[in-house]
Amino acid sequence: MQKTLAGGLMVSFSSVLAGCQLTQSTMNTGGPSGIEGTVTLGPACPGPAVARSPCPDRPYPAGLSIETSGGALLVHVMTNADGTYRTALTPGLYLVVPDRPLSGFPHTRQVNVTVQSKTFTRLDFVYDTGLR
């Protein structure tokens, strides 16, 4: 489902998948295209999630492999200290594969994304710590 909001932001989908929050949206930039977003780690405290938690999700230094729809690696990008990343890509279909630690935690999921011309597609990843 897509919905256009004020300012030209088109929200494509938002979902929560087994400890992974993924948000995808697009904004027409009038220039180059690609993907951008943030990578965070959470939950940071055990117990039920509460509003205004003293333990908010925090930026997570992670790498993201960007692959073609056929599985060929195009580029590997690292997040900045604040958890943000941005990389230019030509329009097309890609697979974004977040790095996985050897221990299995924290973890998140890979996602297919379509990059449109002159648009940066926003992909936010939350690595699940396993704390409950």
Number of domains in the chain: 1
Average pLDDT over residues 95-124: 88
Name the residue with higher pLDDT: 26 or 38: 38
Residue 130's pLDDT band (cuts 50, 70, 90): confident
- Indicate which CATH number applies to the domain containing 51: 2.60.40.10
Range of the domain at 17: 3-128
DSSP structural state of residue 116 = P
Q: Find how far residue 24's CA is from the centre of its chain.
A: 7
pTM of the model: 0.71
What span, in angstroms and rounded, lies between the C-alpha atoms of 57 and 40? 6
| pLDDT at position 99 over 60 | yes
Sheet bearing 63-68, strands edge to edge: 73-78, 63-68, 92-98, 111-115
**Listed range (5-9, 60-64, 89-93) with the worst mean pLDDT:** 5-9
Predicted confidence (pLDDT) per residue in 46-62, tens digit: 777 666 767 888 999 99
